[in-house]
Structure 1
């Protein structure tokens, strides 16, 4: 049995990237995930933040994280203005705030030359996302979008199997992210959920933008397929969430003839995540499930199904994403490892951009601004279709 450990923890910069956060304060699961991932390999150092709109809470929280009190700010405008004047000011910022603020915060960060890691959706509209892309190019800044599940090695094994033709011609892709945690009106007592089901803060969608884009991004990463047109129906089973959906079904036709479906739901009672993707080819199929992320099910027509495990020598070890194992095969890697893999790549991209090393920058895979744009466009087109009674709509019109 050959077990491979390939992760290179020796990659270091002369100094870690000076990094800050907007949002992600006390009690934020996502804030903790960002900090844990960024610190994992020593490529980032948290030196400042605007974690909370309440100045006292922000300062107390930041000091408890080990920051200087005078580098804990009550809002992002003050944060960016002050840090941009310091010789040791931040070089990059992570944005972990409600959706409605992403565009304005990211634009302000780019204006002072900061690299960005932003929660998704990147913006409310594709026009806003395209504007951020243009500003980032002008400023030589990099935007990363936190599609946190795309850092798992077996996701990249699946991608490589598709690229090498192991499945044959891709015919069908079934995607879903359908949990049951919001099957009742929990937002009455949960502020974190309340903003997610409010159009002013969440945008034009709830589950499509919140979790559906995760499942679709896995499809993008694994298959490279591009949507030609789609049809979407969405429901608000908890009536007070209208016009935002807590359940949605999307049918897709891809360029080249493949077809797909996406089920996004927060009312799949009894379910944990049920984020799965199944890719069906002319010769074989693969299936990945985020609750068992170290395995990839591989089914060749006429043969017994097999389960491929992370960290094993029979995988495509010449692919960096596949070989990003942080511990040997058989040990469970999970959510934080996937996020850390992404932050590792963000750091390498930020560093390459700062050195104007475009060749290296272009060679690094990471979920960037184009991934953010596609997530926003998916939401827009699903809303357009649903508002027309689940009519088919062209994706790029």
Structure 2
């Protein structure tokens, strides 16, 4: 395949400020069609799309090899399912879906299609997280018995209906501003769990290979229309115990917090993106601190769109955020929200 023919479903803030510029700069990509609401003439002209439409089926039938889905969360499943059923490769924004059954439906469709699915979790592609995963795969801490996963970010405005700070952070003043309902409407999957814990949980589950078995969780809105705070006790397949938490109320400009602490039968591993450190401490006295370049812990999503194309062309075989990891994240968050709605009762994640 000399050039990957790509269609974009969704042409808002994130697509036009991150994914499309990365793809447009590649010689092995042809941006063929874009689908979205409203006037798409500016987006079509900027990125050279031949087709602009508000009909997903028109885009999917435009002679493309792959799609980039950057719609509101609640629309991901339908678009991804239709693309997979046409045998297309899919990059789908996070969270991949809102509900566990939808997520595992996409897993099954991807297996039948035999195509690549990548969900762009930026931290999963950082050199220090890749090094941490290799340590765990090599058995550095033995069998995981306990996992702590915490995330906090300066996103109270985003989930409360004012995305100004996030627009400034991503330098996207000229891009289409996100609809407030995308982030602050329960019906569209707004809230901190879907919007942010999707990142930390997918990183945890990719690093460890864990899958949640039961969850007992609570959320708090603090007066917002959606959750700003989340907390859960998680039991994983195999018996490991863990906690999962999140908070949207860091001050604007503060660095993101993602803190993962793993306790195993042979040692512990700590990963902290805010302080940019990964520390391995084994019970035999061995200690290792990874060298991390300054600024590497800051979130960005430059590698995943490029890796998506590399997977399609065969230039890479490493997908650190595939459909199965994304599904395990979705089912964990789904269970957290179901548990909270049931007054914190423990709920099963899967059969």
The 1-side partners of 2:4 and 2:99 are apart by 30
CA change 1:195–1:34 in 2 (3 A) is same
Alpha-carbon shift at residue 122 of structure 1 (Å): 1.8
1:19 is the counterpart of 2:6: yes
Partner of 1:129: 103
Say whether the 8 Å CA contact 2:217–2:345 is kept in structure 1. yes
Q: Which has the larger radius of gyration?
A: 1
The 2-side partners of 1:95 and 1:126 are apart by 19
Partner of 1:387: 341
CA deviation vs aligned residue, 1:257-311 (integer Å, no higher than 9, x gap): 3221111221245653212212223443222233455x4233445869653114x
1:114 is the counterpart of 2:85: no
Partner of 1:308: 290
CA change 1:128–1:60 in 2 (3 A) is same
Q: How does 1:68-79 map to 2 (within 5 A)?
A: 68=49, 70-79=50-59
Q: Which runs of 5+ in 2 are unaligned?
A: 165-177
Q: How does 1:212-223 map to 2 (within 5 A)?
A: 212-223=197-208
1:343 to 284, 302, 305: 305
The 1-side partners of 2:345 and 2:82 are apart by 38
Alpha-carbon shift at residue 220 of structure 1 (Å): 1.2
1:265 to 238, 247, 266: 247
Partner of 2:20: 35
Alpha-carbon shift at residue 163 of structure 1 (Å): 1.9
Three-state SS of the structure 1 residue aligned to 2:320 is coil
CA change 1:42–1:332 in 2 (3 A) is farther
The 1-side partners of 2:159 and 2:308 are apart by 37
1:367 to 293, 314, 321: 321
- Paired residues, number: 337
Three-state SS of the structure 1 residue aligned to 2:104 is helix
2:273 to 290, 313, 337: 290
The TM-score normalised by the length of structure 1 is: 0.74
Partner of 1:318: none
Partner of 2:175: none
CA deviation vs aligned residue, 1:146-178 (integer Å, no higher than 9, x gap): 222211121121111112222233232111111
Say whether the 8 Å CA contact 2:159–2:228 is kept in structure 1. no
Three-state SS of the structure 2 residue aligned to 1:141 is coil
The TM-score normalised by the length of structure 2 is: 0.83
RMSD: 3.0
CA change 1:224–1:184 in 2 (3 A) is closer
Three-state SS of the structure 1 residue aligned to 2:332 is helix
Partner of 1:199: 186
The 2-side partners of 1:237 and 1:140 are apart by 44
1:180 is the counterpart of 2:140: no
The 2-side partners of 1:344 and 1:142 are apart by 13
Partner of 1:321: none
Three-state SS of the structure 2 residue aligned to 1:309 is coil
Partner of 1:224: 209
CA change 1:102–1:163 in 2 (3 A) is same
Alpha-carbon shift at residue 40 of structure 1 (Å): 6.6
Q: Which runs of 5+ in 1 are unaligned?
A: 1-13, 84-88, 311-329, 353-359
1:95 is the counterpart of 2:95: no
CA change 1:309–1:45 in 2 (3 A) is farther
Say whether the 8 Å CA contact 1:346–1:366 is kept in structure 2. no
